[in-house]
Amino acid sequence: MALSEFKISKAKSQDKPYKLADGGGLFLLVNRGGSKLWRQKYRHMGKERLLSHGQYPDVTLAQARQKRDEARAQLADGRDPVVEKKLAQINAETQSRTVRHQGFWVQRPFNLGECLAYLVGFIMQRTCGVASAET
């Protein structure tokens, strides 16, 4: 039987974590601490896998079902949803590490020391007119 917002809101923590099934492998895991987490169980290449969709109420029932359907579409194409999710996270992290350097967008590994030195030099040049020692 499919879940409803009412059933989800009434779910309380118990001595052990328990699951509320929705269908298509999607379920809500209710932990002892009271957190409610969306999970999806599926099989890919003969192995059982578990995909996380987020925490309720940050991810609503409708959003969780949409994510389930997207994952099932990926499975139908022969792709593993967990691997696709990790690749998307790596791509987002790589995009956030793209820095502007001398008028060009350059892709390079993130280095906190270099970034801080660049920012200090930039601020000193703009405020005091002092040139950075590295340039």
- The residues spanned by each domain of the chain are 5-94, 100-127
Greater confidence (122 vs 64) lies with: 64
Question: Does 73 score more than 50 pLDDT?
Answer: yes
The model's confidence at residue 17, banded by pLDDT at 50, 70 and 90, is very high
Cβ proximity of 41 and 25 under 8 Å: yes
What φ, ψ does residue 105 adopt, rounded to 5°? -85, 120
Which one-letter amino acid corresponds to residue 33?
Answer: G
End-to-end CA distance of the chain: 66
pLDDT at 105 over 60: no
pLDDT interval class at 39 (50, 70, 90): very high
Which range scores top for mean pLDDT: 56-60, 93-97, 117-121? 56-60
H helix or E strand, kind and range, residue 44: strand 36-44
Most confident of 56-70, 86-100, 104-118: 56-70
Tabulate helix, strand, coil % of the chain (nearest 5): 40, 25, 35
Fold of 5-94: Double Stranded RNA Binding Domain (3.30.160)
Q: Is the pTM of this model over 0.85?
A: no
Out of 65-79, 82-96, 104-118, least confident range: 104-118
